A = this chain, B = another copy of it.
Amino acid sequence: MDFLNSHNEIGLVEEKTFVCSTRFSLSNGQFLDGFQLRYECYGELNPAKDNAIYICHALTGDHHVAGIYHAKDDKPGWWNHVVGPGKPLDTNRFFIVSSNCLGGCRGSTGPSSHRPDASGEPCGASFPDLSIRDMVRAQRALIDHLGITGLHAVVGGSMGGMQALQWVVEYPGFARNAIIIAATAQHSVQTIAFNEAGRRSIRGDLEWQDGNYDKNKGPNQGLSVARMMAHITYLSDVGMEEKFGGDQRLNPSSDFEFSVQGYLDHQGKKFIDRFDANSYLKLTEALDRFDLFGESGLQEAVSKVETRTLVIAFSSDWLYTPKQNKQIVDALLQAGKDASYLEIDHSHGHDSFLIDSGPFLQALDVFLQTDENKKVESMEVDGFRKLRNRYEVKKEADFRAIDDWVCPKDKVLDLGCGRGLLLEHLRETKQVQGLGVDWELNKSISCVARKVPIYQEEILEALAKFNDDSFDWVIFSRMVESLPEPGKILEQALRVGRKVAVSFVNHGYWRNRANFLFQGKRVCNEVYPHQWESSHLSNHFSIREFEDFCLRLQAEGMKVKLGRKMFYRGDWVKHCFVLPNLRAGLAIYEIIKGD
């Protein structure tokens, strides 16, 4: 790879130093007599100064995100595949800033910095405890120093994702967008336990000397064990098996019996050359203490957020699990914010965010698009307004009915939203505030590209998370038939929304009946495309069954009533007014909560 001259490489970059010489208060009540941050910038700040993106690095990462330091440097920055000309964080359009975090050991003020006195000794154990918030406040000072009055986005993975989250909480609206990747609002007990074992390993090393080790010595043994252990948590069981299992399991030619031993040994050794043990202690403690749940809960913590947020988790990440990432989105959505969640199926575990993978890069790319610079033409082909064939017309029928019913500025939850066509249309025509739920990643990425907030999740899981009466409308567009025990799900929808719109293919349609009567088998056409043996499980129903269900709900004392209904004939175009259960191919119902 030619990192120097290729047209989509940044090429040479250089480190800079920001010195803040005023007193800097810390969350724990202590203060620093000023500090410095080592940082790098790529791209150009535009005249409006509104194209800056701040990148926060992970625990053992640093400010060297992309590019190389000299012509023969073959190790570019850690996110070089993400940041550069034409890449998702496009340096042709954005001005990218990243700094080594406060407390780090790559040029920013931290435990290995010299004491302010003349001794020349490192601060060591005397360096104060830091919080994630302290680190973010120092980053803000750098951004102010650069004359930036608002960020296009703040982006980070792992500890960087927690910092990005702290950014949007700490400075409402300062960043217009945020991408929080493989992060958490609170460490799990298991993660704290692993960190504690690592810290014990460092502090138990006799060379640690209560943190006051000499500059070129230190608890190397303890630090390398801590790193080895932590490194296992960054990978996944499956990923490790792919890399060091099977034929690669044994390593007879080397000093190590098993390949993974040699790999861990290398990781441990490399680490003690580039990382300071006291920094490792301070940073892991800051992570363990980071807790946006606090006493009032996460929803309260994010209540002032004014940033459009995308949270991305990886399926095999067991350090900051999909569940933990979803907690962030849940809280943002419960607080009524613009938030999206994507879950990428990847075997590399927590470190997946460092891997060059298509869907991940695509998600970053489409989320950061600005209106001037959309790249979604390829997706608009299947859009609301461009219909390609008869089946496309069918897809439209219930959208148009629901479009009629929804009022301007309504809050709408679309369950099984697909590529977000309906919600995009409702936003553009009625300023509707929409949220889509779909479990397919590629469809969810299309939603992100349309700037439709999307929760990539199973419908039942997602529904259970919303507060009562969170939405004006909950929409099921031809997907109830794929839900088990739909009654329970519809009851959940009626808890969450004031009105529910259900569109469905009427299974009682005369052709289905006739076919079943005369042939004793199901119909097979464009609406029911599969023969029995290739069918997925389903739960088709008729208009009559649906109405019977609503009557049973009322009989059970639930305060609901049927509102508007629309029936279409078999062509899904012409309306149908009489004998709908026999004559209608498609039905759309409004269910209204209340007396």
Contact = CB atoms under 8 A, between A and B. Distances in A.
Contacts of A531: 487, 545, 548-549, 552
A57 to B, nearest CB: 24
Contacts of A542: 520-521
Interface in A507-545: 508, 512-514, 516-517, 519-522, 531-539, 541-545
B240 A193 contact: yes
A200 interface: yes
A98 interface: no
Contacts of A204: 205, 221-222, 224-225
User: In terms of DSSP, what is the predominant structure of the interface of chain A?
Assistant: helix
Contacts of A483: 537
B549 A533 contact: yes
Contacts of A521: 508, 541-542, 544-545, 548
Contacts of A197: 225, 228-229, 232, 264
Interface in A229-284: 229, 232, 235, 237, 240-241, 243-245, 249, 257-258, 260-261, 264, 268
How many copies of this kind of chain does the complex include? 2
A581 to B, nearest CB: 4
A399 B200 CA distance: 62
A314 interface: no
B485 A237 contact: no
Contacts of A188: 237, 240-241, 245
B545 A532 contact: yes
16 contacts: A188-B237, A188-B241, A189-B237, A193-B261, A196-B264, A204-B222, A237-B318, A486-B532, A522-B541, A522-B545, A531-B545, A532-B545, A533-B549, A535-B539, A536-B537, A538-B538
10 closest A-B pairs by CB: A487-B533, A508-B520, A537-B537, A204-B221, A189-B240, A532-B545, A197-B228, A520-B581, A532-B541, A197-B229
Given A533-B549, A537-B538, 18 more contacts: A189-B241, A190-B241, A193-B228, A196-B228, A201-B201, A204-B205, A204-B221, A204-B225, A485-B533, A486-B535, A488-B534, A513-B516, A513-B520, A516-B516, A521-B542, A521-B545, A532-B548, A535-B539
